Chain A
Amino acid sequence: MSVECETYCWGHDPTALENLRKRTPCRSSQIETLLQLFGDAAHYTPPALFVYGHTATGKSCIINGILRSLKLPHVPVNCVECYSSRFLYEHILNNLPSTDNSTRCDNMNDFVRLLQQRIQESQLHDQTVYIVLDKAERLRDMEANILPAFLRLQELTGMNVCTIMLSEIVWEKFRFGTGFSEPYLLHFPDYSKNELLEIMNLDAPSDYPAALYGNYINLIMSVFHLVCRDLKELRHLASLNFTKYVEPIESEEATVNDFRKLWKNVEPHLKKALQTIYLREISSSQWEKLQKEQDSAAINPIPASRSHVELPYYSKYLLIAAYLASYNPVKSDRRFFVKHTAKSRTKPQRAKAKKQERASNHLLGPKPFPLDRLLAIFYSIVEGKVAPTAIIYSQITSLVSLHLLGPAAGEDQIDMPRYKCLVSLDFIKSVSRTVSFEVTRYLYDFA
């Protein structure tokens, strides 16, 4: 019985639907549900549908595909592009099939009035008009009346209008205020591993046997599937690394059936891809170039170079001082920076106190410190006499503008500003190495 149901398509063109099903495998139940909800062109559709699911689960692809292939009147809108309400209204009005394309509309009242007019002008009043709002979570950031009004657009216009909202975020996070009429929720579930394999097999190149590509996809999945389920990302990775996989075949070191050898060849390569191309440390074109020049793939000129910034001498010391001030507790300053201090505590006591706070500073993040403390530490670590000139102070503010230091949240004072240090431990280590200052010796967590 269910097979019969699938084939019933409310007077729409069955071949178009068949094509759509072929293009989007593993989504037939969603297509069926949507068709049922849409019904005949003249049927009333529920006023609002909310479609949610992960990235690349075919939300916009399926919905726009159905609307396009069945030739239903619809307006696709991307809420990231239409970032203000006026753009949103004008985009929808101008994309309806009608005569003139330059409407001005800046409030919801005009929008509803003009939408009615447009639909009547273009003879669409006996059909359902679909408004597809992609990235609908952005609607929450617009004026408060937009989301509730779109949800009841059918009632407000008195026309057969259906608003479809697509989002990655669950519906609960959209509710606010006194509530509004709830849309009909529709979930696009994630693809299972087998479904992902099936879909990715569609990209198989024609000049190699299908089994070879299937095997390759399996390898890709074994490396990446635990980390990433995004179909787009996986397909991108598969297309990038395929040349490397077939390299032994090209150079005739291995045959098409030599799966083991091919696997041995490509596995370290894929592992590296996880750390580089997956994180966009290097761009796709760079990666392709690296693949061509065999040997340089081993050296890879990546991350380390990122954390190197050339700074003036005193700026380096200021930054180190800021780092120490941010990650050391105030009471430890005396121990680290005062030259001749009587050791007040006995060793076991100190060890005990330290154990309680051990490693907590580098877990909790930087703490704000006043300017005085920064300068005190700076003078105790810097070599030679440094006068507190305007240049020193301007270097501190320029460190702030480079985002190496940040102002402590919610404070805006001239006389005693407070800062936070915003650089990582690796960065500060490389900076202190250039001035041959051993920073770990002064850090409470490590010393």
Chain B
Amino acid sequence: MGKKKAKGTAKPPPLETSVKMVQSILRKRLAQMSSPPEIQGYTKERQQLFDLLKRTTVSGESNSVLLIGPRGSGKTMLLQSVLTELKEDDNIHQNLLQVHLNGLLQTDDRIALKDITRQLQLENTVGDRVFGSFSETLQFLLEALKKGSSQTSKPILFVLDEFDLFAHHRNQTLLYNLFDVSQSAQTPICVVGVTCRLDVIELLEKRVKSRFSHRQIHLFNTHGFYDFSQMCTSYLSLTPGELDATVTEPWNTHVQELVSEPSVRDVLQRQFNLNKDVRGLIALLTHPICRLSPTHPVLEAGDFLDSFKKLTTDTKSAMLHGVSILELCLIIAMKHLMDIYDGEPFNFEMVYSEYLKFAQRKSSMQVYEKPVVLKAFEHLMTLEFIRALDGSGSRVQKEYKLMSLLIHPSQIVDALQKYPNCPTEVKQWAGNSVV
């Protein structure tokens, strides 16, 4: 069915270029570099934010607001779309100054201040460099902000991404000063904090908290499965005007049909049950979109199934598949020790004696010497399947270091079933702990 569709499109642009173009558009969406096709929900929140920013820019009112929501719930996207709409107004476009800060980049107030002066292009910047010490820059910045008033100076929008990280700065100087300016009649500024921590207010100091307007906008993924599959369709389909109509139309109808196919719906439903945010959807779509090529020009239901299978593989079981038989025996011995002693930590000597009990009495396998077994044990340690309880600092011989097992028994059972050429004795030993 897919092939037929693709042939239909092949009239004006040759197949190869059309697929390439489609793919580069879709890839851009995956990488979250282009604005997503349409914003789902959040109409009320969007209006609220829009009004607030507009009041700051037009009537010179100072504001502060926090956007709170889990990761991947569209906080930055909402802000971006509000800003693009604001900028359509020519007056605002020329008047509004923007400062974007990110808690991951500006890890302390000194760096943040320098970046603010750089982004505002103040007098003490030459090119990209900012001069002056921390206190000088702060003083300079505050003076520059204080001189202004709501009538004469341009409004400034501060966007603080990863707001909770700014709250960890020393004395919260930056936050205090920003909120202080927004509370007093100086240059109109609007501070927008973006964070995923619900308890972010508790992180603020009292003096900072009292200056904050306590206006919060919560963004939660409140959509249901219907919206989720709609989102999937809109992520995959092309907006008219991006490409030739001869490419767009058949592509979009194909996507429509594909998403309503029962197997694809089933995959979407299962992904929805695991993770309903956009990032999860994007991860699911990565494989099908990247697979597109002139030799594979349309999305197929099989791609979705493959992709979901890849996303949901248990990484630890996959790693367990690659350990040697001896290491597997050690893991089973550890599992037994955990069973027998109720999850008490163990050391190498115990594991070794448990292994000897099995290898000497119950099996025809070769019994390995202590140093060889110790090497296998250490390999498990570097893979972080087992972890020392009290760091590496304490000085005990490595044989006597207390360890805990970081694999769930069900994962061991799972891995044993998939293990290639596993000796039956080992399997039986894994089944019953009493040897």
Contacts and interface: CB of A to CB of B under 8 A. Distances in A.
Contacts of B72: 181
Contact of B71 (A43, A168, A179, A424): A179
A278 B372 contact: yes
A45 B390 contact: no
Contact of B321 (A148, A149, A190, A364): A190
Interface in B339-392: 347, 349-350, 353, 365-366, 368-369, 371-372, 375-376, 382-384, 390
A145 B165 contact: yes
A36 B290 contact: yes
Contacts of A178: 71, 164, 196-197
A154 interface: yes
A156 B296 contact: no
Contacts of A228: 324
B323 interface: yes
A65 interface: no
Given A178-B164, A193-B421, A227 B397 contact: no
B316 A172 contact: yes
Contact of A54 (B196, B287, B291, B319): B319
Nearest to A227: B326
A447 interface: no
Interface string A392-435: 00000000000100110100000000001010100000000000
B279 A182 contact: yes
A4 B315 contact: no
Given A8-B293, A39-B290, A227-B368, A169 B383 contact: yes
Interface stretch (A16-24, A106-114, A285-293): A106-114
A46 B31 contact: yes
B323 A229 contact: yes
A36 B31 contact: no
A47 interface: yes
A184 B296 CA distance: 22
B322 interface: yes
A291 B27 CA distance: 59
Interface string B12-43: 00000000100110011011110000000000
Query: Chain A interface mostly helix, strand, loop or mixed?
Result: loop
Contact of A39 (B23, B106, B111, B372): B23
Size range of the interface on B?
A: 35 or more
A57 B322 contact: yes
Contacts of A362: 349
Contacts of B326: 226-227
Contact of A43 (B27, B111, B197, B366): B27
A10 B293 contact: yes
Interface in B260-318: 279, 283, 286-287, 290-291, 293-296, 310-311, 313, 315-316, 318
Interface string A18-55: 00000000000000000011011011111100001110
A51 B369 CA distance: 34
A269 to B, nearest CB: 16
A340 B350 CA distance: 37
A58 interface: no
Interface residues of A, number: 75
A158 B296 CA distance: 30
Interface string B398-423: 01100000000000000000001100
A83 interface: no
Nearest to B395: A406
Nearest to B350: A363
B315 A171 contact: yes
B411 to A, nearest CB: 11
A71 interface: no
A172 B315 contact: yes
Contacts of A47: 31-32
A143 interface: yes
Contacts of B371: 275, 279, 281
Contact of A44 (B28, B105, B115, B287): B28
Contact of A156 (B105, B111, B293, B316): B105
Interface in A111-148: 112-113, 143, 145, 148
Contacts of A92: none
B102 interface: yes
B104 A108 contact: yes
Contact of A365 (B279, B313, B318, B397): B397
A305 interface: no
A173 interface: yes
- From B104, B106, B353, residue with most partner A Cβ within 10 Å: B104
B139 interface: no
B107 interface: yes
A330 interface: no
Nearest to B164: A178
Nearest to B383: A168
A414 to B, nearest CB: 19
B128 interface: yes
Nearest to B400: A365
A187 interface: yes
Nearest to B28: A44
A187 B318 contact: yes
Contacts of B347: 363-365
Contacts of A57: 322
Interface string B145-179: 00000000000000000001100000000000000
Interface of B: 20, 23-24, 27-28, 30-33, 71-72, 102-107, 111, 115, 128, 164-165, 196-197, 279, 283, 286-287, 290-291, 293-296, 310-311, 313, 315-316, 318-319, 321-326, 347, 349-350, 353, 365-366, 368-369, 371-372, 375-376, 382-384, 390, 394-397, 399-400, 420-421
Given A39-B290, A158-B33, 18 more contacts: A1-B295, A5-B295, A8-B294, A10-B293, A36-B291, A108-B104, A168-B383, A170-B315, A181-B72, A182-B283, A185-B311, A187-B318, A192-B420, A229-B324, A364-B347, A365-B349, A366-B400, A422-B395
Identify the 5 closest CB pairs spanning chains A and B, nearest first: A365-B400, A190-B322, A406-B395, A44-B31, A170-B315
28 contacts: A43-B24, A46-B30, A46-B290, A53-B322, A54-B322, A107-B111, A109-B106, A109-B115, A145-B105, A145-B107, A149-B104, A156-B102, A169-B383, A178-B196, A180-B71, A181-B72, A184-B286, A190-B321, A192-B420, A228-B324, A229-B322, A275-B372, A279-B375, A366-B400, A409-B390, A409-B395, A420-B396, A422-B395
